[in-house]
A and B are shown apart, each in its own frame.
Chain A
Amino acid sequence: MDDPARGAIDEVIDEQWRQLGKPGTWLDGSERVDVVRAARSDTSGVIAAPDSIGGVARLVANGAASITADTVDGIEVNGIDRGAYVEIVGVVSRVMAIDTFDRGIGRSPRPLPDPVDGPPTRAPVPEARRRAGWVPTVGAIGPPTALSSVRREAADQEALHDVLYLPYSGMADLDAERVLHRTQMELVAARVSLLNDCFF
């Protein structure tokens, strides 16, 4: 299946998959690989108020539409701070994107990334603060800023969004064409969202 952009997609997702095993901002490499593993699990292990990194990952992967402000508060009370929560959301979301793309084109699931030793950077983003959403953001919360309190996750999410769909800077182009016309892309987007009970 040929697409002029297929090489660009593979280049980004191959590199991001390798990076998933490396220490992140709040999670170490082994914890991030645990998140990848949990994101791929079925719905049987999903609980509403998880107290483990894997539990949060399963909830985000399989029950994101059920998450509320109280859920995120409860996760923090259970010992997983909001920075780690944002990183888990970022990793799970990207795993779902990459696995879906691979399955869609008939490719087998990737093996788990190899964990790399080392501490997380714990690099804070001082300007991030809680606004209308459930996590701190730099500026008003929206799709481009939702992960902005963990810079690396925000950057990786934006890069993936660019190759899989459109760059954020091109979102206003309602006549965009990447093999599919924007209307066809939006039809796909709307159906995916409906099947995920997501109404954004």
Chain B
Amino acid sequence: MLRASAQQTGRQVELSAIAHPDRDSLLPAGHQLLEFVTALIRGGDDLPRARACLLEMAGGAGVVRAAAVSGNFQMMNRLVDATGVPIGQTSRLIADELDLDP
């Protein structure tokens, strides 16, 4: 969906930033979003710092939205994995491109 959204709306995106968040995703506040999400999901001590950085770049509403989307995919990931929703061919190709093993 990331690639599809970027292509349809004429935005550039560097997909490898998903697996390597130190790389530039080319999206606004992309680095701060990736740091925030990583700290939020991993549950480390660096969440307050990551939240503050995102707040500075995207504002309070941006933090709320990033937390909301993160929560949604915590839900959806478990739902699809636990019920056996099949992985589509597109997802397999992108996983291969990112050198991941589905």
Contacts and interface: CB of A to CB of B under 8 A. Distances in A.
Contacts of B8: 174-175
Contacts of B19: 194
Q: How large is the interface on B (under 10, 10 to 19, 20 to 34, 35 or more residues)?
A: 35 or more
B9 A141 contact: no
Given A147-B79, A199-B102, A192 B74 contact: yes
A200 B80 contact: yes
Contacts of B28: 181, 184
Interface in A67-94: 67, 69, 72, 86, 89-90, 92-94
Interface in A173-200: 174-175, 178-196, 198-200
A146 B85 contact: yes
B86 to A, nearest CB: 6
Contact of B34 (A146, A181, A191): A191
Interface string B27-61: 11110011011101111000110010001001111
Contacts of A104: 36, 40, 51, 63, 66-68, 70-71
Nearest to A107: B67
Contacts of B51: 104, 106
Contacts of B82: 60, 64, 67, 72, 89, 93
Contacts of A180: 33, 58, 62, 65-66, 69
Given A163-B68, A164-B68, A1 B63 contact: yes
Contacts of B88: 200
Interface stretch (A3-11, A21-29, A46-54, A119-127): A3-11
A154 to B, nearest CB: 10
Nearest to B35: A191
A165 B68 contact: yes
21 contacts: A3-B60, A65-B81, A93-B75, A93-B82, A96-B75, A98-B71, A103-B47, A104-B40, A104-B66, A104-B67, A104-B70, A105-B63, A181-B11, A183-B27, A184-B33, A187-B30, A188-B73, A195-B37, A200-B77, A200-B85, A200-B91
